[in-house]
Homo-oligomer: A and B are copies of this chain.
Amino acid sequence: MQPPVLDFWFEFASTYSYPAAMRIGAAAQARGVAVRWRPFLLGPLFKANGWTTSPFNIYPAKGRYMWRDLERICGALDLPFAEPPGFPQNTLLAARVALVALVQEWGEDFCRAVYRAEFGDGRNIGDPAVLVEVLRQLGQDADAVIGQSQSDEVKARLRAQTEEAAARGIFGAPSFITDDGELFWGNDRLESALEWAKR
């Protein structure tokens, strides 16, 4: 029998996607649920709301709270935490590279390493040099991978994935969708989503 599958929709700029990405592997394995990692871009969805930046920037009280909350969450999980230089980061290249990476063995490691660089080490993941470094540390041919990520096919796939996210009711990240279409939003809903998936 195939294990139930949970779609993990994430955006590299999303702060709460960081602890979710770090937790989901072990949490899913413990429940016998398979995870499909699905990068997408929040920018187009936010633009449809009339937002040109993150709501955490538009609404300062909410933003201040989020950074403090994220710091507490990372502390409780023993995850390193540092605010990246500028928020939200430009994640277009990282998301395209993730689409190339996720059809290979090291794809999830790449995603975790990007989050770790951004919110653990406070690096600028919009800088291609940072992604090159991440890829090399994973033993990959960075130039080849980044070259592939620039293909029309990958660009179209990221657009399609982002459109699918919107069509499935997603409005933020991280989001989780079960086989039967149940949507859960937020790092704090990971366990509920996994429990639903295995029902």
Contacts and interface: CB of A to CB of B under 8 A. Distances in A.
Copies in the complex: 2
A59 to B, nearest CB: 6
A181 to B, nearest CB: 11
Contacts of A169: 61, 64-65
Interface string A43-77: 00000010000000001011011001100100000
Given A49-B59, A171-B59, A183 B68 contact: yes
A171 B49 contact: no
Contacts of A117: none
A187 to B, nearest CB: 10
A2 interface: no
Contact of A183 (B65, B188, B189): B65
A69 B62 CA distance: 21
A69 B188 contact: no
Contacts of A65: 169, 171, 183, 185
A192 interface: yes
Q: Which 6 A-B pairs have the closest CB atoms?
A: A61-B171, A188-B188, A62-B171, A61-B169, A49-B59, A65-B185
